[in-house]
Amino acid sequence: MATATIAGKEVHINEEGFLTEFDEWDEDIAAELAKNIDVEMTDEHWKLIKWLREDYKEKGETATTRRVQSAGGVPTKQQFAMFPKKPAKKMSYIAGVPKPKGCV
């Protein structure tokens, strides 16, 4: 497994740059990951990222955009506005959780 230094911390990542160890994530790392993909974090972004992490911890898998809408209460259109083009992939990348199943 590869490692990288993000926000001054050594973390484990996969070939796509996603964190592979849930407990290595923190908000400093998330902020740097967001910058890497040109996402400017707002309170709304942080709320969704934290929800995504909690949901992952509970369910053991990353929420899809459909689940984020139904269980997380964030409409798909809003997800695309917050995380343009590939919201599920970008949200999970910043949240330090795996890409959702079916996400290319």
What pTM value is reported for the model? Answer: 0.94
Among candidate residues 85, 4, 19, 12, the one with its CA nearest the CA of residue 52: 19
User: pLDDT exceeding 70 applies to what percent of the chain?
Assistant: 97
- Joined tokens for residue 43: 């309170």
- Joined tokens for residue 27: 């908000």
Please return the burial class of 73, using the count of CB atoms within 10 Å of its CB with bins 0-12, 13-18 and 19+.
Answer: exposed
102 or 60, which is more confident: 60
Calpha distance 17→94 (Å, rounded): 10
